[in-house]
Amino acid sequence: MTVAPRGTPRAGVLVLLVAFGVGLAGAAAELSLRGFGFTFTTFPVVQFGWPEPHEIRDVYMPDRDLFWVTRDYATKLADARHTRPAVVFMGDSCTEFGTWPQLTLDRLAARDPSLARGVSLAVGGWSSEQGLRQFRRDVLPLHPRLVTIYYGWNDHWLAFGEPDADVHANAVSYWLAEHLRLAQLVVKARLGTSATPSAGGSFRVPLDRYRVNIETLGRLTRAAGIRAVFITAPTSHERGREPEYLARRHLRDLKELVPLHASYVQATREAAVAAGAEVCDAATMFTALPGPIGQYFNRDGIHFSDRGSRALADMLAHCVAPDWSATSPVTRRY
């Protein structure tokens, strides 16, 4: 039998002393960070081309399932649960910042008053991965008559770290990042070291995964008795005239932009049809509008100008209610 020498602390005592020291140091650091007013609230380890972490913190709010949401998201969702809108608009910044959802409702109201009430639950920077999670959690319980679904841009931007499908936060890590300054400091430091796209150059949502997400959305809506209309994402991008800013954080090579986006547009068409859903092929219809096509978009070639929003509203209203007007939306002048 071995006896510990006199004056030598037992292992348990050493562990307690070390734990106490670490806890004391952590408490001191936490108090110091609070004293200096440090705060960094964002979804843990999420960073994409847009929004950047400071924009998630300043413009949006963290959400454990959806990564981030608009600051009025909870209010809009609560109102929708009470009012039961007939139409829900899902999508990314092209939908959140566009005026076309309300313009579409105005046009539909003239034809079918039951479709006059709607809500946009779109959030800038979202991919189809977030849209699918949102539909299951927030949209499906609303049981709208019609859902419009507009994705296909953020999905093919480069991921900063893990692809969207692999980003998860358990309850403990999410709570820590929301409430402890030390955890927020760790998040900020981690994001600071991931300021470049992932080494493998993977997309936020690879094409095969995007196709699955779109088809799943189509099948879920159909099973729930909800009419789904998928909108293909139009653009004014042309080969050799791609926006330079996309080379900094979004793409490996600007030459990829036009064919890459076209592949996701085609996947939208094919997956929606495979699921038995409807497609409003705005990407094709915009090319038939009276030119030049650049007048329908902002300078980025992605988001709509006022004229573009009016054009899309006419197209979507025509897709939803084909006899809405005797004149095809692609033959009008805006």
Q: Is the pLDDT of residue 200 over 60?
A: no
Q: Is the pLDDT of residue 29 over 80?
A: no
Residues of the chain above pLDDT 70, percent:
70
The DSSP letter of residue 278 is E
What's the rounded Cα separation, in Å, for the pair 18 and 322?
73
Which region holds residue 75: left if phi is over 0, alpha if psi is between -120 and 50, else beta?
A: alpha
- How many CA within 13 A on the CB side of residue 180? 16
What pLDDT score was predicted for residue 97? 95
What's the rounded Cα separation, in Å, for the pair 272 and 283?
15
CA distances from 133 to 6, 88, 129, 277 (A): 62, 15, 6, 19
Looking up residue 295, the CATH number of its domain turns out to be 3.40.50.1110
Q: Is the pLDDT of residue 279 over 70?
A: yes
Is residue 77 one of the residues assigned to a domain? yes
Long-range contacts formed by 70-79: CB under 8 A, 24+ apart:
70/96, 70/123, 70/124, 73/121, 73/123, 76/119, 76/120, 76/121, 77/121, 77/138, 79/119
Q: Is the pLDDT of residue 209 over 60?
A: yes
Instruction: For 282-326, give the secondary structure using H, E and C.
Output: HHHHHHCCCCCHHHHECCCCCCECHHHHHHHHHHHHHHHCCCCCC
Q: What is the per-residue pLDDT across 104-158, written as a single tens digit (0 to 9) for each?
A: 999 999 988 899 999 999 999 999 999 999 999 999 999 999 999 999 999 999 8
As a whole number, mean pLDDT of residues 287-312 equals: 96
Rounded to 10°, the helix 181-192/171-179 angle is 100
Q: Is the pLDDT of residue 9 over 90?
A: no
8 CB-near residues (< 8 Å, 6+ apart): none
What pLDDT score was predicted for residue 81? 97
238 CB-near residues (< 8 Å, 6+ apart): 258
Q: Which of 9-13, 37-41, 217-221 is predicted with the least confidence, judged by mean pLDDT?
A: 37-41
Higher per-residue confidence, 77 vs 332: 77
Q: Give the structural domain span for 113.
A: 69-166+200-321
Our count of domains for the chain comes to 1
- How many CA within 13 A on the CB side of residue 34? 10
Instruction: State CA 24 to chain mean position distance.
Output: 40
Q: Is the pLDDT of residue 192 over 60?
A: no
Give the model's confidence band at 277: pLDDT under 50 very low, under 70 low, under 90 confident, else very high: very high
Q: Which two tokens stand for residue 244?
A: 């330079």
Q: Could you identify the residue written with the tokens 């046009």?
A: 107
Please give the mean pLDDT across all residues of the chain. 83
Is residue 4 one of the residues assigned to a domain? no
pTM over 0.85: no
What pLDDT score was predicted for residue 204? 92
Q: What is the per-residue pLDDT across 31-88, written as a single tens digit (0 to 9) for each?
A: 665 666 555 555 544 445 555 655 666 778 888 899 889 999 999 999 999 999 999 9
Is residue 180 one of the residues assigned to a domain? no
Is residue 62 one of the residues assigned to a domain? no
Is residue 181 one of the residues assigned to a domain? no
**What sign does the dihedral 175-180-182-186 (CA atoms) show?**
positive
What pLDDT score was predicted for residue 104? 98
Q: What amino acid is encoded at 152 in this protein? A: G
What pLDDT score was predicted for residue 11? 73
Is residue 184 one of the residues assigned to a domain? no
Is residue 220 one of the residues assigned to a domain? yes
Rounded to 10°, the helix 257-274/207-223 angle is 30
Query: What 3-state class would DSSP assign to 160?
Result: coil
Is residue 298 one of the residues assigned to a domain? yes
Q: E strands of the chain, at which residues?
A: 60-63, 67-70, 87-91, 118-120, 146-150, 227-231, 278-280
